[in-house]
């Protein structure tokens, strides 16, 4: 189980491909799932937001 799941966001993965809709799961401070994430202890609905995993 993920510690945190951010659901329903536009994901920009940094590969140059188009963004896509999906979820991002985080466990132990690391990104564990991108696309369809399993359940999380905490879940955030990111509807309308964009997310770039690993972008600093």
* Per-residue confidence (pLDDT) for residue 56, from 0 to 100: 60
At 11 the three-state DSSP class reads strand
CATH topology for 2-51 is: Urease, subunit C; domain 1 (2.30.40)
Please report the beta strands in 1-56, taking only residues with DSSP state E, as ranges in sequence order.
2-11, 20-27, 30-35, 40-45, 50-51
pLDDT in tens, the chain (56 residues): 999 999 999 999 888 899 999 999 999 999 999 999 999 999 999 999 999 987 76
Q: For residues 29 and 49, what is the distance between their CA atoms, to the nearest angstrom? A: 21
Nearest to 6 by CA among 51, 44, 34: 44
Residues whose CB falls within 8 Å of the CB of residue 13, separated by 6 or more in sequence, listed in order: 19, 20, 34, 52, 53
């Amino acid at each position: 189980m993920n510690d945190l799941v951010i659901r329903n966001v536009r994901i920009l993965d940094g590969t140059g491909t188009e963004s896509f809709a999906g979820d991002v799961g985080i466990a132990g401070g690391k990104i564990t799932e991108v696309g369809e994430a399993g359940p999380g202890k905490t879940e955030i609905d990111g509807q309308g937001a964009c997310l770039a995993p690993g972008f600093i």
